[in-house]
Structure 1
């Protein structure tokens, strides 16, 4: 089985960097992996989060696409319950017009931040997540030039090509919806370490061909930490260990700590247990080990594409990590 590698980027603030640095690094990383031959570059949506700068991925898509040549560029993903399907369709029809056949529209239903984010994005109201399948259906219809809500409107600009829709999920809830609507599906293992191939099996089993896709297409996204040795990889992974633990403890995280700082932290037995649990969301080791783990993951989930999210310090190590993976997979 030939595995294609892609990138999921969250515009992380590394220690010693600011928000502007993080956004610039997203562009630099995209240019780097474009040259290496990665298939896609997706950006996530996070709100009111100091350590992640990517609050408007649809804007970053435009900048990344303008600075790259061949890699597909998209969102991982637009949090649709917060927005009008019509407006999202028009935004991505514009992007498709600017960069034809290079744009992916990934959507999700997560809140994208702390509880208050839901109210701030929805003018004081809580979004109706139960209508998410209907929203995705309307979004697809608008992209295809239809008028699903009967308002006598079209999502413009119309064009010869349409960006494909992919649904992202960290549980099996959206897998069946993705299959029934005929979209792509990406399982977020980097969010849910207890994820299993069951969600993607559900997607495959429920897939109905659509104008979006005639065949099912699934992928899986995972954190990866790559060192020159397993020992160095563990050292580098200490940053992500501490950062994820801080999120779970409700601490305000200004940035991702350096491994020099994080590796000196001590944890009680409960904290260590959480760190061990979060390791299910990561692949860690030297490049040979990481390659094997990626292949095992792809085989277990029966997918041909793995999206890799590398958050290590300094930024140059992130670039090196993706270079090592590209060489390991003969890209």
Structure 2
């Protein structure tokens, strides 16, 4: 089974955005050496807890700093941008790093509602036009002229980065199936009903110029440590962070485990933490390996994308290392 990485460039407590991007770079280099399959970076705007606002630029930096791991976006929020310009950006990346680039796309705003206005010159993005944008993007990536204007995405080349449509609902999965794109289900966002979503994607998939068969993976929060007890200690900070996000609390960074353990939780908050655990796998290498394999079996996929947010950063590196050892990934 393939293991991959989704990194949101989290800003840990007491750290800066620069620290977060340096950590993302080090993590990409580290997981490249450990034998992970992909490394995707996200797009978030106007937040003090996540530093990745421009995944295409960050992907270019990471591709230049790594050797064999696939580098991609998880993802570019396409309604904010021109499909043609996105195609050009990724044709440049593909030309620089052939067969190592993934173009993950989504349609979420990437922040609070005002982000939509800031990114779209005071207007709301055309969400209804998203399916047509995907078709246009795919055509440009494959050297076509979808608007009939004698305009092509350059630089041209023999290879094209695959489009991965990201989502956490049946709507996004059916659209990926209809358009013949790959599909990534965000279990770390929605821990319920995902197996039915991926099954419908596979059932209704239509071949496209990109691919002839469906291709799906699943992303989930994972915290792995030498013991179950230490993993639970580390995961307590993610428990609190997810709770704060749900409550709309303004945060300057992700809390530490000690800060989380000092927090006084209401009964309702404890219930929410338990429900959010459906989006996470926490434990020792043996336990985490078993649960990841069970997750892959339930989804009928052969690739799981790991999203680990723990403090301090060294524990994040160690979590990915323990997973690589448990799954016997091929180190460089």
- Same fold judged by TM-score > 0.5? yes
Partner of 1:253: 251
Aligned counterparts of 1:157 and 1:280: Cα–Cα separation in 2: 43
Aligned counterparts of 1:117 and 1:273: Cα–Cα separation in 2: 31
Partner of 1:60: 58
1:150 counterpart = 2:145? no
- 8 Å CA contact 1:189–1:195 kept in 2: the answer is no
1:108 counterpart = 2:106? yes
What's the CA shift string for 1:210-264, capped at 9, x where partnerless? 2211221100000001122212111111111111111111111111111011112
TM-score (norm 2): 0.97
Partner of 2:305: 307
SS of 1:76's equivalent in the other structure is: strand
Partner of 1:185: 183
What's the CA shift string for 1:169-196, capped at 9, x where partnerless? 0111111111121111000000112232
1:277 counterpart = 2:275? yes
Partner of 2:12: 14
Question: Cα offset for 1:151?
Answer: 2.7
Partner of 1:71: 69
Equivalent residues in 2 for 1:189-228 (5 A)?
189-228=187-226
Partner of 1:172: 170
- 8 Å CA contact 2:225–2:318 kept in 1: the answer is no
SS of 2:26's equivalent in the other structure is: helix
Structure 1 stretches lacking a partner, 5+ long: none
SS of 2:185's equivalent in the other structure is: strand
- 8 Å CA contact 2:220–2:306 kept in 1: the answer is yes
Aligned counterparts of 2:188 and 2:247: Cα–Cα separation in 1: 18
- 8 Å CA contact 2:140–2:153 kept in 1: the answer is yes
What's the CA shift string for 1:41-85, capped at 9, x where partnerless? 000110111110000000010000000000000000100011110
Aligned counterparts of 1:11 and 1:189: Cα–Cα separation in 2: 19
What's the CA shift string for 1:1-47, capped at 9, x where partnerless? xx110000000011121100000111100000000110000001101
SS of 1:105's equivalent in the other structure is: strand
What's the CA shift string for 1:124-174, capped at 9, x where partnerless? 111121211111010000111111123321111101111111100011111
- 8 Å CA contact 1:170–1:195 kept in 2: the answer is no
SS of 1:210's equivalent in the other structure is: coil
Aligned counterparts of 1:35 and 1:231: Cα–Cα separation in 2: 28
What's the CA shift string for 1:88-107, capped at 9, x where partnerless? 00000000011111000000
Which of 20, 31, 34 is 1:33 aligned to?
31
Aligned counterparts of 1:260 and 1:269: Cα–Cα separation in 2: 20
- Number of residue pairs matched? 329
Aligned counterparts of 2:264 and 2:284: Cα–Cα separation in 1: 24
